[in-house]
Amino acid sequence: MGVIAGAVVVVLVLVAGWWFVRTYNRLVRLRNQTQASWAQIDVQLKRRHELIPNLVEGARGYAAHEKGTFEAVTAARGAAVVGGLGVGDRAAAEETLTATLGKLFALGESYPELKADQHFATVQAELRSAEDKIAYARQFYNSAVQSYHTALESFPGNVVSGFGGGHARREYFEAPGAPQDVVQVRF
């Protein structure tokens, strides 16, 4: 009888150990996925940052008197490439950069010869492509953060995360700013 009880205890300890290791490894995998998806956002943002000087230089020759726009884009880019920013601060800097880029793109509409310039059009198309990739990378990152948070907050992850260390919540990459007003349609 003592052998059976000992075997049951050993089996229970092995099952509990397997459960703990499996849950811990899942949390590590999800944490690493959030880090990898953040790295992908960083890659796409750097690509965008590298394209901006080409766009500014291309537009500068056509609209030299739009100095304020060029300075705003350059300053916003400088603020966005600063290292060491947290997710929230990085999102705010990128949102400012996106807004100033919109002003630069508007110059293309104001100056038909600039709009027709092949170099400007190519860089503008590459930046639009980069914006699409950034939006996808943000979505993927936020989805990875959501999965990680769900695993951290639900049982058994909430129990195991306390033992493992290094399993802290991550910030979502949210676009700052005022909420959008509801569009009212009247007939």
pLDDT tens figures, 29-70: 999 999 999 999 989 889 888 888 888 877 777 666 677 888
If one compares 182 and 46, the residue with the highest pLDDT of the two is 46
How many Å apart are CA 84 and CA 67, to the nearest integer?
A: 29
- Answer with the residue of higher pLDDT: 90 or 67: 90
Rounded CA gap, 8 and 145, in Å?
39
What is the amino acid identity at position 111?
Y
Residue 11: pLDDT band (50, 70, 90) is very high
Average pLDDT on 128-150 reads: 91
Q: Is a pLDDT exceeding 50 seen at residue 179? A: no
The reported pLDDT for the residue numbered 162 is: 77
Q: pLDDT category, 186, cuts 50, 70, 90?
A: very low
What average pLDDT does range 139-153 have in this prediction? 92
Our CA angle for 46, 58, 42, nearest 5°, is 5
pLDDT of residue 139: 93
Once rounded to an integer, what is the mean pLDDT over residues 137-161?
Answer: 89
Q: What is the pLDDT of residue 164?
A: 66
Q: How far apart are CA 16 and CA 40, in angstroms?
A: 36
Q: Does position 143 have pLDDT exceeding 90, yes or no?
A: yes
Q: What is the pTM of this model?
A: 0.71
Model confidence band, residue 177 (pLDDT cutoffs 50, 70, 90): low
